[in-house]
């Protein structure tokens, strides 16, 4: 039986753990992330012909290394490369939540956006145009209510399609200004050469331009990648203003 790994990412309080509990029942265990005081919850479930290992990532507003939670979530998506990252977003607070979804889509194309708290949205008279969000983001978008256990089958159907490669999403690519795009184009080949093609070079280029020291440290710790000391990188990144935040 094929086993896939999936991660739950999203802002705090969007129902990730509720979904995690719904999917795994008692087949779950918790501990801490290596070297951090951040809780790590992992569980298993079966669906259709496949088994799934699922990781409940800490809730974060961004993945820019501002806290241990953000570093854990970022490192998991970048280095462990789950077969699918489910971004759980709050239907009653789409604008803020989509910000994190876009960050995840810069890191991986193997994603499904899960709009949770649909029951709450309905109560508030909020209508969510799933098709339009899906079209704009370029990944499957599914509506659920984790608490009421609705929409779970459709969610798992989309997760299976992405995990198995039946569907290869092409997420929207956020364009930056000309100067930043030029620097990204200079950095990407250096990153690819240093780290191999396995990693999201455009996202790493953006983080380097943003002066993300924590990411460089993680890269160094995991693969002894001399990216931070690369002269080519230093040349491009020098005097750069932060691009994100």
Ligand X SMILES: Nc1nc2c(ncn2[C@@H]2O[C@H](COP(=O)(O)OP(=O)(O)OP(=O)(O)O)[C@@H](O)[C@H]2O)c(=O)[nH]1
Tell me how many degrees the CA angle 234-220-196 measures, rounded to the nearest 5.
80
Which are the contacts of 72, defined by CB distance < 8 A and separation ≥ 6? 33, 36, 38, 40, 57, 58
Q: Provide, rounded to whole angstroms, the least separation between the CB of residue 231 and Mg ion.
A: 43
Q: Which residues of 196-223 are buried (b: 16+ CB within 10 A; e: fewer)?
A: eeebbbbbbbbbbbbebebbbebbeeee
Q: Which residue is nearest to ligand X (CB)?
A: 59
Can residue 17 be called a binding residue for Mg ion (CB under 5 A)?
yes
Least distance CB 143 / ligand X (angstroms)? 10
Token readout for 59 is 């809730």
Q: Which of residues 36-65 bind ligand X (CB under 6 A)?
A: 59
The reply to whether 204 sits near ligand X by the rule CB under 6 A is: no
Site string for ligand X, 142-171 (x = CB under 6 A): ---xxxx-----------------------
Smallest separation (angstroms) from ligand X to the CB of 131: 21
Site residues, Mg ion (CB under 5 A): 16-17
Site residues, ligand X (CB under 6 A): 10, 12-18, 59, 116-117, 119-120, 145-148
């Amino acid at each position: 039986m094929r086993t896939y790994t999936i991660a739950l990412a999203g802002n705090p309080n969007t129902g990730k753990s509720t979904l995690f509990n719904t999917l795994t029942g008692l087949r779950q265990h918790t501990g801490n992330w290596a070297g951090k005081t951040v809780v790590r919850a992992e569980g298993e479930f079966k669906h259709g012909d496949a088994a799934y290992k699922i990781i409940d990532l800490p809730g974060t507003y961004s993945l820019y290394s501002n806290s241990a939670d953000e570093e854990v979530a970022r490192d998991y998506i970048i280095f462990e490369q789950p077969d699918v990252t489910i971004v759980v977003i709050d239907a009653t607070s789409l604008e803020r939540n989509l910000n994190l979804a876009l960050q995840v889509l810069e890191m991986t194309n193997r994603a499904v956006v899960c709009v949770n708290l649909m029951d709450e949205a309905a109560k508030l008279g909020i209508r969510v145009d799933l098709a339009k969000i899906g079209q704009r983001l370029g990944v499957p978008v599914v509506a659920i209510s984790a608490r009421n256990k609705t929409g779970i089958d459709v969610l798992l159907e989309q997760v299976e399609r992405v995990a198995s490669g039946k569907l290869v999403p092409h997420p929207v690519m956020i364009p930056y200004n000309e100067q930043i795009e030029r620097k990204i184009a200079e950095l990407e080949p250096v990153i690819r050469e240093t780290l191999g093609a396995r990693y999201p070079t455009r996202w790493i280029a953006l983080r380097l331009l943003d002066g993300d020291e924590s990411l460089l440290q993680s890269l160094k710790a995991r693969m002894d990648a001399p990216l931070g000391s690369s002269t080519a990188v230093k040349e491009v990144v020098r005097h750069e203003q932060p691009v994100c935040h």
